């Protein structure tokens, strides 16, 4: 008889958990703790409505939920980070992969004053004080599944204040095309398609 040992980690946070959810470690998300102490995970929604919105994606492809994919756009030198079923971040420059994978500290520690309070099971980086240096963020708008795969659409919520001609702030919608994730099969092919109407970026995995 074979046994599989699975390690489960619980992370207790307060406030805005965007940083963790947008760069979730490549392990399945089992639950969200303490919703009374955290902000709604989607903007302009109540906590309950936001969780129901998240489950629209969970019900389509639970295994892919929050799985992070990083890709680089060679035309505009963007770095694109997809947290499937939740949000897409577009950085206006190429970033080193280890830096993108670090969790932005948008949240607050659970217990103040404890020396171990900010000891996490993942690497973190501080949220940049200058909004112009932050990514442009697109949150999940809709998700659907058909014979050609799964299409999830993300609408812009936050934009940095760059006035550069190729700034991602000009984007309005990002669409991600995927196949349903099978954890027994490696699915790492990524495609960026810029030959679509202005304001929309299409990603395929």
Q: With H, G, I as helix, E, B as strand and everything else as coil, classify residue 92.
A: coil
pTM of the model: 0.79
Q: With H, G, I as helix, E, B as strand and everything else as coil, classify residue 205.
A: coil
Length of the chain: 205
Mean pLDDT of the chain: 77
Question: In whole angstroms, what is the distance from residue 136 CA to residue 88 CA?
Answer: 8
Binning pLDDT at 50, 70 and 90, where does residue 42 land?
very high
Question: In whole angstroms, what is the distance from residue 22 CA to residue 166 CA?
Answer: 23
Instruction: Kindly tell me if the per-residue pLDDT of 90 is higher than 50.
Output: yes
Question: At which residue do the structure tokens 């932050």 appear?
Answer: 134
Instruction: Kindly tell me if the per-residue pLDDT of 140 is higher than 60.
Output: yes
Instruction: Kindly tell me if the per-residue pLDDT of 7 is higher than 60.
Output: no
134 or 116, which is more confident: 134
Instruction: Kindly tell me if the per-residue pLDDT of 84 is higher than 90.
Output: yes
pLDDT digits (tens, 9 = 90+) for 161-205: 665 656 677 788 999 998 887 766 555 444 455 444 545 556 655
User: Are 54 and 42 in contact, with CB atoms under 8 Å apart?
Assistant: yes
């Amino acid at each position: 008889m074979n046994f599989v040992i699975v390690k489960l980690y619980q992370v207790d946070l307060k406030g805005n958990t965007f940083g963790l959810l947008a760069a979730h470690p490549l392990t399945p998300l089992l639950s969200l703790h303490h919703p009374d102490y955290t902000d709604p995970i989607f903007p302009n929604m109540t906590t309950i409505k936001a969780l129901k919105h998240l489950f629209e994606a969970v019900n389509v492809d639970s295994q892919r939920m929050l799985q992070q994919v990083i890709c680089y756009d060679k035309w505009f030198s963007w770095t694109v980070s997809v947290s499937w079923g939740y949000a897409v971040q577009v950085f206006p420059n190429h970033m080193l992969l280890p830096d993108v994978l670090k969790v932005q500290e948008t949240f607050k520690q659970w217990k103040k004053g404890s020396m171990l309070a900010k000891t996490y099971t993942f690497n973190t980086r501080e949220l940049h004080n200058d909004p112009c240096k932050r990514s442009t963020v697109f949150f999940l708008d809709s998700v659907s599944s058909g014979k050609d795969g799964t299409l999830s659409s993300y609408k812009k919520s936050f934009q940095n204040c760059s006035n550069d001609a190729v700034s991602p702030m000009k984007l309005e919608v990002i669409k991600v095309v995927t196949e349903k994730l099978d954890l027994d099969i490696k699915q790492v092919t990524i495609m960026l398609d810029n030959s679509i109407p202005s304001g929309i970026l299409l990603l395929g995995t």
